[in-house]
Amino acid sequence: MILGIHHVQITIPKGKEEEGKNFYCNILGLPEKEKPESLLGRGGFWLEVGDIDVHIGTEENFDRLKTKAHIAYQVNDIVYWRNVLERNNVQIIEGIPIPGFQRFELRDPFGNRVEIIQVI
């Protein structure tokens, strides 16, 4: 039996951890979680999102702009997040409407698709 989701992972280019931390920790406000010492040499960093971990790994030669794979972050004030992202020059992409939700998409600095979603 599957109990739930333990973590999800996305990737950024090798050597871009500081830029990634700026976007995910400073702009989105996600707290960094300490990685186990045995994994420190692999690059990347981990984040805490509620009770789920998001692992930001490193990977080369992958075109993130060609995938629909993404993480959807649920928020309770979508207008606030739209404003924060626009103030930080992040391009907002309007998503296809889904009944019962407000949402929009964006690409992180590395091309990963990100969705911001609010239940209405």
Average pLDDT, 10 consecutive residues per value, the chain (120 residues) = 87 95 97 93 94 94 87 96 97 94 96 95
- What confidence score (pLDDT) does residue 18 get? 97
Is the torsion defined by CA of 13, 59, 61, 28 positive or negative? negative
Other Cβ atoms less than 10 A from the Cβ of 12: the count is 26
- What confidence score (pLDDT) does residue 1 get? 87
C-alpha 66/C-alpha 53 separation (Å) is 24
Q: Are 65 and 110 a contacting pair, CB within 8 Å? A: no
Q: Which H helix or E strand runs over 81?
A: helix 78-87
For the chain, domain boundaries: 7-119
Q: Which H helix or E strand runs over 32?
A: strand 32-33
Q: Are 107 and 91 a contacting pair, CB within 8 Å? A: yes
Q: Are 34 and 46 a contacting pair, CB within 8 Å? A: yes
Is the domain spanning 7-119 CATH 3.10.450.100? The answer is no
Residue 76 is given by DSSP the state S
Residue 52 pairs in a beta bridge with 49
- What confidence score (pLDDT) does residue 65 get? 85
